[in-house]
């Protein structure tokens, strides 16, 4: 089984990225050949400061390793170091329909109907499809927010295969977690937690210090009925806190909710601070060792070489089917 996934270096990885997707990356190392990318080409769909981008690329790489990804077992690399991503993306762009791309909810959210939204934002899902299909990936561990993009990837693979034969592209499956698959913003539990949201209080980054973690959780938006139960529709704030608690402690949300029956929101929040601080401490400690070490860049270079070898084979196969080149 081959596994592929990626993270955008658009800021510090937050607990939504971690609980929704990255936790699975680590576990999947025992199940198959894993390829994990830092998708910097996706990060420039909206303007980025170059030195900040470079620094975020290395931060994400160090966090990959800090959460337990082993560069010897998994291939860890930076997307722009493998030219095949952009090349396959163009081929797939020629197979994608403008109608299906206009229906992508992430494009609608980020462009908000703005005529001068970059075309890269519109084509982002095709690049994501290319990222996955370039490695003949069978499984793609991602958060719930990527479900629509995975469907498009499958549709494109099937469309290409219908034209050129089933041996052209592998049709991948998304792998979604149940607990923590969609972590919501702490200050607005109706929107998803996001790296690029303006307010720092909306998220907890894996590198946040204990005081910031405490502040964000204790200030998290809840409701006024005082009852601790999981009900996303009526109680999105409390449900989000229960879900984060459950995911970090390996317990079900119902189990956590039962423990806090009859208690105030303050005690749930206080304990959640402790659970979160304890979960993030070892990650932060490993990050501080890995980030300044030269091994980080060596691991990414080695990863890019291994990724390129696989990507070149798949790309040549696809180009051949399309009749490209001599």
Residues interacting with ligand AQP, by CB under 6 A?
7-8, 10, 16-17, 20-21, 142-143, 145-146, 181-183, 192-196
Minimum distance, C-beta of residue 142 to ligand AQP, in the bound complex (Å): 3
- Helices 265-290 and 236-249: angle between axes, nearest 10 degrees: 50
CB-side exposure of 65: number of CA atoms within 13 Å? Answer: 27
Is 72 labeled as catalytic in the residue annotation?
A: no
Closest CB to ligand AQP among 192 and 214? Answer: 192
Minimum distance, C-beta of residue 261 to ligand AQP, in the bound complex (Å): 27
User: Which residue's beta carbon is nearest to the bound ligand AQP?
Assistant: 20
Is 195 labeled as catalytic in the residue annotation?
A: yes
Minimum distance, C-beta of residue 231 to ligand AQP, in the bound complex (Å): 19
Catalytic position from the list 108, 178, 192, 284: 192
Closest CB to ligand AQP among 62 and 160? Answer: 62
Closest CB to ligand AQP among 87 and 179? Answer: 179
Residue 131: CB atoms within 10 Å? 27
Minimum distance, C-beta of residue 206 to ligand AQP, in the bound complex (Å): 12
- Say whether 250 sits in a helix, a strand or coil: coil
Q: What is d(CA 283, CA 208) in angstroms, rounded to the nearest whole number?
A: 11
Q: Where are the beta strands (DSSP E) in 143-234?
A: 173-175
Kindly report the backbone phi and psi dihedral angles of residue 229, in degrees, each rounded to the nearest multiple of 5, phi listed first. Answer: -155, 160
Q: Which residues of 167-186 are buried (b: 16+ CB within 10 A; e: fewer)?
A: ebbbbbebbbbebbbbbbbb
Minimum distance, C-beta of residue 195 to ligand AQP, in the bound complex (Å): 4
Q: What is d(CA 219, CA 113) in angstroms, rounded to the nearest whole number?
A: 33
Edge-to-edge, what's the strand order for the sheet holding 2-7? 75-78, 33-38, 2-7, 139-141, 173-175
Closest CB to ligand AQP among 196 and 263? Answer: 196
Catalytic position from the list 48, 108, 147, 195: 195
Is 147 labeled as catalytic in the residue annotation?
A: no
Catalytic position from the list 48, 110, 212, 321: 110
Q: Sign (positive/negative) of CA torsion 185, 190, 195, 197?
A: negative
Minimum distance, C-beta of residue 252 to ligand AQP, in the bound complex (Å): 18
Tokens of 255: 């189990």
Q: Judging by beta carbons within 10 Å of its beta carbon (0-12, 13-18, 19+), is residue 203 exposed, middle or buried? A: buried
Closest CB to ligand AQP among 16 and 71? Answer: 16
Closest CB to ligand AQP among 168 and 180? Answer: 180
Smallest CA-to-CA distance from 189 within 141, 147, 222 is with 222
The residues carrying an active-site annotation are: 110, 192, 195
């Amino acid at each position: 089984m081959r596994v592929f996934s990626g993270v955008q270096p658009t800021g510090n990885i937050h607990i939504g990225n971690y609980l929704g997707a990255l936790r699975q990356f680590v576990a999947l190392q025992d199940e198959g050949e894993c390829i994990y990318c830092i998708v910097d080409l996706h990060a420039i769909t909206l303007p980025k400061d170059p030195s900040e981008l470079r620094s975020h690329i290395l931060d994400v790489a160090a966090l990959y390793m800090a959460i337990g990804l082993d560069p010897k077992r998994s291939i860890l690399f930076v997307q722009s170091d493998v030219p095949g991503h952009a090349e396959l993306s163009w081929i797939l762009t020629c197979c994608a329909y403008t109608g299906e791309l206009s229906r992508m909810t992430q494009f609608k959210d980020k462009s908000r109907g703005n005529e001068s939204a970059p075309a890269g934002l519109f084509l982002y899902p095709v690049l994501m499809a290319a990222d996955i299909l370039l490695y003949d990936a069978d499984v793609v561990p991602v958060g719930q927010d990527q479900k629509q993009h995975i469907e498009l990837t499958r549709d494109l693979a099937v469309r290409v295969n219908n034209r050129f034969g089933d041996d052209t592209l592998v049709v991948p499956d998304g792998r979604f977690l149940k607990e923590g698959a969609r972590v919501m913003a702490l200050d607005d539990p109706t929107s998803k937690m996001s790296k690029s949201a303006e307010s720092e209080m909306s998220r907890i980054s894996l590198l946040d210090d204990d005081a910031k973690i405490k502040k964000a959780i204790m200030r998290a938006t809840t409701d006024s009925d005082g009852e601790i139960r999981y009900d996303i529709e009526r109680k999105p704030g409390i449900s989000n806190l229960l879900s984060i608690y459950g995911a970090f402690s390996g317990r079900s949300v119902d189990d956590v909710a039962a423990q806090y029956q009859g208690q105030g929101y303050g005690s749930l929040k206080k304990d959640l601070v402790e659970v979160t601080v304890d979960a993030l401490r070892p990650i932060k400690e490993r990050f501080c060792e890995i980030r300044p070490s030269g091994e980080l860049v060596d691991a990414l270079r080695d990863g890019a070489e291994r990724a390129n070898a696989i990507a070149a084979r798949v790309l040549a196969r696809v180009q051949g089917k399309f009749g490209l080149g001599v």
